[in-house]
Amino acid sequence: MKYPIRSLEFKNNKLYLIDQRALPQQYKKFICENYRDVEFAIAEMVVRGAPAIGVTAAYGVVLAAFEFNELPIKQFLDQMHEACDIINSSRPTAVNLMWAIKRMRFFLIDNETPKNVLHKLKAEANQIADEDIRTNKKMGQFGNSLIPHKATILTHCNTGALATVEYGTALGVIRAAFEDGKEIFVYADETRPRLQGARLTAWELVQEGIPATLIADSVAATLIRDGKIDLILVGADRIAINGDCANKIGTFMLSVIAKVYDVPFYIVAPTTTIDFEIETGEEIEIEERSKEEVTHINGVQIAPENIDVYNPAFDVTPNENITAVITEKGIINKPFKENILKLK
Ligand code: MRU
């Protein structure tokens, strides 16, 4: 059975998220009735992927406005800013979250009634969601121009419809090439420890009928060395002005191998993933997640109880390992700093 892949939907004043923790065994919705549910959904990865987190956060602000709009304007604004702060700190690395909250805070002004503010916030969140879909389609078009017919593509983590509102970033480029009739083949890294590749990317690829094979992360080096990969497409969670990109843990390692064997390594990300306030990737906060993500699989313990665990969720790929960054505004080539600053 083919399921609709729209990661989130706002209806009847509630936010419906595809519960990404349950896929692929179960397709079910997680309903956010207030902004605390949104904070939980982002922190616990009910919803994940930089663009999807940003849009979810925007709707979290709308839910807070529904909760507080009967208050006098001053108290309303105090409560709204507190809600924004709480949502803003639900995960640290994907800058789309902070970007969306900043965009929503713009409407928190005191010469309006709370009801008017609520109305404007809802319209803005809908706009952010619509823009995300348009942006992904644009990146798909630009990225498709780089994909040769019969290309074999390696990807990491999940950058598909689930990681955005619809369509996807790196997986969106793969979708665009497939829709264009190119006979592409995809290798999807399983992406330990959360297995976004095995659980989510593989599910999207199977649903779309895109020819693909799932691999353990450690297989990628052999495929690259053996000349089996024509190009690598991955997403990003935050891009510094110099082109350094934070993405799912394991991306940096792939980029090093790609460089050694001269395989093109592309980042696909909307311009909302660029953090114009940081010069280099060294300034990006890397989230560390729980020990249990590594010591347990599906709730079953696989490592001894007393072992220490280091579990960073992201790493930074240095700009010199990146061939180009595909955005909705075009393909950004080197020199990255100069070309990224033109997008501001
Ligand atoms: O921890 P996650 O699953 O939120 O990490 C997701 C990624 O690293 C993606 O590659 C990135 O957000 C780009 S998604 C379009």
pLDDT computed for residue 76 by the predictor: 98
Choice from 19, 155, 157 to test ligand 1 binding pocket (greatest atom count within 8 A of CB): 157
Mean pLDDT of 236-240: 98
Active site residues: 237
CATH number of 8-136: 1.20.120.420
User: Residue 159 Cα, ligand 1 centroid: separation in angstroms?
Assistant: 6
User: Residue 41 Cα, ligand 1 centroid: separation in angstroms?
Assistant: 15
pLDDT tens digits, residue range 243-302? 999 999 999 999 999 999 999 999 999 999 999 999 999 999 999 999 999 999 989 999
Going from N- to C-terminal start, the domains of the chain cover 8-136, 140-341
pLDDT computed for residue 28 by the predictor: 97
Mean pLDDT of 312-321: 98
pLDDT tens digits, residue range 126-175? 999 999 999 999 999 999 999 999 999 999 999 999 999 999 999 999 99
pLDDT tens digits, residue range 74-98? 999 999 999 999 999 999 999 999 9
| Alpha helices per DSSP H over 145-286 | 170-179, 196, 202-208, 220-225, 251-260
Atom of ligand 1 nearest to the CA of 51: 15
CATH superfamily of 140-341: Translation initiation factor eif-2b; domain 2 (3.40.50.10470)
CA separation for the pair 188, 159 (Å, rounded): 11
In the structure, which protein residues have their CB atom closer than 6 angstroms to any atom of ligand 1?
A: 48-51, 94, 157, 159, 163-164, 169, 196, 235-237, 247-248, 313
Atom of ligand 1 nearest to the CA of 196: 3
291 burial type by CB count under 10 A (0-12 exposed, 13-18 middle, 19+ buried):
middle
Mean pLDDT estimate for the chain: 97
pTM, whole model, 2 decimals?
0.97
By alpha-carbon position, which residue is closest to atom 13 of ligand 1?
Answer: 235
Q: Dihedral of CA 231/206/208/55: which sign?
A: negative
pLDDT tens digits, residue range 17-33? 999 999 999 999 999 99
User: Residue 78 Cα, ligand 1 centroid: separation in angstroms?
Assistant: 32
